[in-house]
Amino acid sequence: MNNNSLSGKIPSELWRIPLLLHLLVDNNNLSGPLPTELAKSPVLKILQADNNNFSGSSIPSTYSNIKTLLKLSLRNCNLQGAIPDLSAISELGYLDLSWNKLTGPIPTNKLAPNITTLDLSHNLLNGTVPLNFSELPNLQLLSVENNHLDGDVPSTIWNDIVLTGNRSLVLDFQNNYLKTIPAAFSPPQNVTVMLYGNPVCGNSSGAPIDSLCQPQSVNQQTSKQQQDSSPICSPCPSDKNYEYNPSSPIPCFCAVPLGVGLRLKSPGITDFNPYEGAFGDSTTSLLKLYVYQLHVEHYTWEVGPRLNMHLKLFPSNTSLFNMSEVVRLRHVLAGWEITLPDIFGPYELLNFTLGSYADEYPNEASSGLSKTAMGGILAGAIAAAFALSAVATVFIMRRRSRHRSRTISKRSLSRFSVKIDGVRCFKFEEMARATNNFDLLAQVGQGGYGKVYRGTLDDGEIVAIKRAHEDSLQGSKEFCTEIELLSRLHHRNLVSLVGYCDEADEQPRPNYLPVLG
Ligand SMILES: *[C@@H]1O[C@H](CO)[C@@H](O)[C@H](O)[C@H]1NC(C)=O
Ligand SMILES: *[C@@H]1O[C@H](CO)[C@@H](O)[C@H](O)[C@H]1NC(C)=O
Ligand SMILES: *[C@@H]1O[C@H](CO)[C@@H](O)[C@H](O)[C@H]1NC(C)=O
Ligand SMILES: *[C@@H]1O[C@H](CO)[C@@H](O)[C@H](O)[C@H]1NC(C)=O
Ligand SMILES: *[C@@H]1O[C@H](CO)[C@@H](O)[C@H](O)[C@H]1NC(C)=O
Ligand SMILES: *[C@@H]1O[C@H](CO)[C@@H](O)[C@H](O)[C@H]1NC(C)=O
Ligand SMILES: *[C@@H]1O[C@H](CO)[C@@H](O)[C@H](O)[C@H]1NC(C)=O
Ligand SMILES: *[C@@H]1O[C@H](CO)[C@@H](O)[C@H](O)[C@H]1NC(C)=O
Ligand SMILES: *[C@@H]1O[C@H](CO)[C@@H](O)[C@H](O)[C@H]1NC(C)=O
Ligand SMILES: *[C@@H]1O[C@H](CO)[C@@H](O)[C@H](O)[C@H]1NC(C)=O
Ligand SMILES: *[C@@H]1O[C@H](CO)[C@@H](O)[C@H](O)[C@H]1NC(C)=O
Ligand SMILES: *[C@@H]1O[C@H](CO)[C@@H](O)[C@H](O)[C@H]1NC(C)=O
């Protein structure tokens, strides 16, 4: 439910959801206090509530009882009080409590060995940097920047970390009151220590630390750019989208890939580089492919932090996937049928590019939605209900780009029609009128599927209008299924379906639309 306009408290009853794994409510307008009852949640792995205003409340000490917690992120939440001792959470891998007003010392007990990221920056913490921050073998980032810490610059934090070419560690101590540094201070290569703004820097004692005293920003989150295929290989044939598979066991092998846009919504790492291999191994095994069939073409870190990546899936030792394989891969990915390892967190599929396979792709391939896809639809409906608790109804709109509608008509997909009792079909103009041309002020939420607007119909009825992204995955069949499913859903906590709009061809010209998605 992140990136919506939710206000009020986080309901304490959420812990009763028996399989609540991920609670992502960042970028809302939620207020405090944080519910202590969440500690009773039996399987909670990610609790992320960045960028809310829990003004004045503290982090419940009961959260140290959430034994399953992998990630706790409460950045920029206006929190006060002390940092609870979280050393009892044996799987904790990512802790971000930055940009709050936390006071007192940093708990000295040793955190879980899995911790990759420890961001306590921009608080009011005092005392010293705990010695127990040493010997955390997976640590990638420790930031205590902009606090009131004093004492020694720690010199053992990197002790237990095996720093291969792929691994790096950033230690950001800038703008504290660190006064002294051990005489033999020699962090290994790939360990970046930042000391700017500490008294120790004013003590022009020696050249070695001068270089550490320059102001720096944490620039750990490198992105991977698309690499040119090896210049040794001769160009691939150009009749289809042939490409050279960089991972192919057969050198210079040209094949037609499938494209997959994926976003990790709440990863448990700060630096993807050393995890790229593990990501490839688990993704290919979940997709029942060989490791060399996957190529991570590029990735970028987005605010969140979220990891936006583009993957290419290549056929194994042949030039083309057969169509049943294309159908299978699309079905598995579009149906959210795979669960990545916990460290990568939840993901959303941004696109699935058929490329040269589009012409042959069978229309009826995605017959029926999987349970997980239904789960996604339900989650959408529940999110809409959260955002619009005062509103009684919901609309769905499908949005197609002009390009896509051309492709569809080329493949002679018959215009679909829904005939369900009580579900009305609306014109695009009616939707635009109801939302003041999809005005930003009318927007109440957004998600991977698109945006939700508050609208008023011509007859005065207040509705929620869900408008799909142009490139969202919904095909006719999924859209139809979603409408049928929603029309059958009746629950006091769910908004009910009034109608839909599927006008592709009568859409106004793009420049008349507000910039969306
Ligand atoms: C979520 O909201 C933040 C802050 O408004 C914004 O920077 C970010 O792009 C949004 N992310 C998504 C995926 O919409
Ligand atoms: C956030 O919520 C507070 C009340 O909790 C309200 O006064 C304020 O207008 C809200 N801000 C936005 C941007 O919705
Ligand atoms: C957070 O909420 C408090 C009390 O509602 C308010 O005084 C404060 O200005 C808010 N802070 C931000 C950053 O919105
Ligand atoms: C740390 O700050 C707290 C309150 O913010 C104060 O009570 C305590 O004395 C401070 N400790 C040190 C060592 O300065
Ligand atoms: C952590 O460090 C403190 C001293 O700062 C020590 O007393 C304690 O035993 C250490 N705990 C662990 C688990 O290493
Ligand atoms: C740490 O992470 C690994 C995988 O990254 C996992 O297998 C292990 O169970 C986790 N927990 C501990 C305590 O090491
Ligand atoms: C400078 O370093 C010495 C020891 O090397 C220390 O005693 C002294 O307090 C330091 N002065 C400042 C201003 O940090
Ligand atoms: C780590 O150090 C090696 C040399 O020891 C260097 O080649 C590599 O680029 C460094 N990696 C990072 C991420 O800094
Ligand atoms: C799919 O998403 C990825 C990641 O955002 C992007 O790089 C790629 O251009 C997208 N492809 C299409 C066809 O939209
Ligand atoms: C760096 O990571 C990549 C991908 O995980 C792996 O293939 C490569 O062998 C690693 N290199 C080193 C020097 O560890
Ligand atoms: C693909 O080709 C490589 C190299 O010829 C071979 O080692 C591998 O076993 C082949 N894979 C399959 C699935 O046949
Ligand atoms: C399609 O390709 C997959 C994987 O290469 C193979 O297992 C399957 O038997 C093929 N199916 C047909 C109908 O050729």
**Omega within 30 of 0 (cis) for the link into 305:** yes
Looking only at the bridges linking them, the beta strands covering 22-24 and 46-48 are parallel
Q: How confident is the model at residue 234 (pLDDT cuts 50, 70, 90)?
A: confident
For residue 195, pLDDT beyond 50: yes
Please give the CATH topology (third level) of the domain spanning 401-516. Phosphorylase Kinase; domain 1 (3.30.200)
Q: In one letter, which amino acid is 51?
A: N
The predicted structure's pLDDT at residue 64 = 94
Beta bridge partners of 79: none
The predicted structure's pLDDT at residue 344 = 96
Looking only at the bridges linking them, the beta strands covering 141-143 and 443-447 are unpaired
More confidently predicted of 293 and 235:
293
More confidently predicted of 95 and 499:
95
Q: How far apart are CA 431 and CA 451, in angstroms?
A: 13
Across the range 308-336, mean pLDDT stands at 90
The predicted structure's pLDDT at residue 447 = 63
For residue 44, pLDDT beyond 90: yes
Q: Where are the alpha helices (DSSP H) in 25-106?
A: none
Residues lining ligand 9, Cβ inside 6 A: 259, 261, 308, 310, 350-351, 353, 471
* pTM given for the model: 0.81
Average pLDDT, the chain: 81
Say whether 466 counts as a known binding-site residue: yes
∠ CA 431-436-437, rounded to 5°: 65
Pocket test for ligand 5, best of 108, 134, 160 (most atoms within 8 A of CB): 108
Alpha carbon of 129 to ligand 5 centroid (Å): 12
The predicted structure's pLDDT at residue 358 = 81
Question: Among the atoms of ligand 2, which is closest to the Cα of residue 7?
Answer: 2
Beta bridge partners of 467: 397, 451
Q: How far apart are CA 459 and CA 498, in angstroms?
A: 13
From the CB of residue 225, how many other CB atoms can be counted at a distance below 10 Å? 10
Q: Report helix, strand or coil for 367.
A: coil
Q: For residue 210, give Cα distances in angstroms to 5, 183, 462.
A: 46, 14, 63
Domain 7-212 annotated CATH 3.80.10.10:
yes
Q: What is the DSSP string of 338-365?
A: ----GGG--EEEEEEE-GGGGGG--TTT
Sign of the CA dihedral with 257 first, then 262, 267, and 272 last: positive
Tally the residues of the chain: 517
Question: Quick check: 348 and 373 in contact, CB under 8 A?
Answer: no
Q: Give the residue whose CA is nearest to atom 14 of ligand 8.
A: 190
Alpha carbon of 268 to ligand 12 centroid (Å): 35
Question: Among the atoms of ligand 10, which is closest to the Cα of residue 277?
Answer: 5
For residue 26, pLDDT beyond 90: yes
The predicted structure's pLDDT at residue 113 = 94
Beta bridge partners of 307: 264, 301
Across the range 136-142, mean pLDDT stands at 94
From the CB of residue 150, how many other CB atoms can be counted at a distance below 10 Å? 16
- Cβ burial of 455 (10 Å; 0-12, 13-18, 19+) is buried
Q: How far apart are CA 431 and CA 142, in angstroms?
A: 49
| 202-211: long-range contacts, CB 8 A cutoff, minimum separation 24 | 203/179, 205/181, 209/181, 209/185
Among the bound ligands, name the one nearest to the CA of residue 205: 7
Kindly report which listed range (49-53, 105-109, 466-470, 479-483) carries the lowest average pLDDT score.
Answer: 479-483
Q: If you average pLDDT over each of 205-219, 300-314, 360-374, which comes out highest?
A: 300-314
- Cβ burial of 68 (10 Å; 0-12, 13-18, 19+) is middle
The predicted structure's pLDDT at residue 333 = 85
Q: How confident is the model at residue 224 (pLDDT cuts 50, 70, 90)?
A: confident
The predicted structure's pLDDT at residue 402 = 41
Is 134 touching ligand 5 by the criterion CB < 6 Å?
A: no
Q: How confident is the model at residue 293 (pLDDT cuts 50, 70, 90)?
A: very high
The predicted structure's pLDDT at residue 351 = 82
Beta bridge partners of 150: 177
What are the start and end residues of each CATH 3.80.10.10 domain in the chain?
A: 7-212
For residue 376, pLDDT beyond 60: no
Alpha carbon of 345 to ligand 1 centroid (Å): 17
Q: Could you tell me the CATH superfamily of domain 224-368?
A: RuBisCO large subunit, N-terminal domain (3.30.70.150)
Quick one: which H or E segment has residue 331? helix 323-334
Q: What is the DSSP string of 52-112?
A: -B-TT-B--GGGGG-TT--EEE-TTS--EEPPP--TT-TT--EEE--SSEEEEPPP-SPPP
Q: Give the residue whose CA is nearest to atom 10 of ligand 2.
A: 29
Kindly report which listed range (172-176, 208-212, 321-325, 376-380) carries the lowest average pLDDT score.
Answer: 376-380
The predicted structure's pLDDT at residue 217 = 81
**Omega within 30 of 0 (cis) for the link into 33:** yes
Closest among 266, 262, 292 to 280, alpha carbons compared = 292
Q: Report helix, strand or coil for 382.
A: helix
Q: How confident is the model at residue 485 (pLDDT cuts 50, 70, 90)?
A: low
Backbone angles phi, psi at 386, to 5 degrees: -60, -45
The predicted structure's pLDDT at residue 378 = 46
Q: For residue 81, give Cα distances in angstroms to 60, 125, 266.
A: 10, 10, 26
Pocket test for ligand 6, best of 89, 110, 111, 114 (most atoms within 8 A of CB): 114
Across the range 457-479, mean pLDDT stands at 72
Beta bridge partners of 351: 261
The predicted structure's pLDDT at residue 257 = 95
The predicted structure's pLDDT at residue 464 = 85
The model's pLDDT over 196-214, given as tens digits with 9 standing for 90+, comes to 999 988 866 555 677 888 8
The model's pLDDT over 101-110, given as tens digits with 9 standing for 90+, comes to 999 999 999 9
Q: What is the DSSP string of 189-230?
A: TTEEEE-TTSHHHHS---HHHHGGGS---------BPPPPPP
More confidently predicted of 183 and 492:
183
Q: How far apart are CA 389 and CA 383, in angstroms?
A: 10
For residue 505, pLDDT beyond 60: no
Roughly how many angstroms between the first and final C-alpha of the chain, as a whole number? 17
Q: If you average pLDDT over each of 301-310, 360-369, 404-413, which comes out highest?
A: 301-310
Question: Among the atoms of ligand 9, which is closest to the Cα of residue 351?
Answer: 1
What tokens appear for 120 in the block?
Answer: 């306590």
Across the range 417-436, mean pLDDT stands at 78
Across the range 312-316, mean pLDDT stands at 95
Q: How far apart are CA 391 and CA 465, in angstroms?
A: 11
Q: Give the residue whose CA is nearest to atom 11 of ligand 3.
A: 53
Question: Quick check: 418 and 483 in contact, CB under 8 A?
Answer: yes
What are the start and end residues of each CATH 3.30.200.20 domain in the chain?
A: 401-516
Q: How far apart are CA 12 and CA 30, in angstroms?
A: 13
What are the start and end residues of each CATH 3.30.70.150 domain in the chain?
A: 224-368
Across the range 136-164, mean pLDDT stands at 91
Q: How far apart are CA 25 and CA 48, in angstroms?
A: 6
The predicted structure's pLDDT at residue 508 = 34
The model's pLDDT over 52-102, given as tens digits with 9 standing for 90+, comes to 999 889 999 999 999 999 999 999 999 999 999 999 999 999 999 999 999
Q: How far apart are CA 257 and CA 140, in angstroms?
A: 33
Q: How far apart are CA 75 and CA 44, in angstroms?
A: 19
For residue 511, pLDDT beyond 80: no
Q: How confident is the model at residue 338 (pLDDT cuts 50, 70, 90)?
A: confident
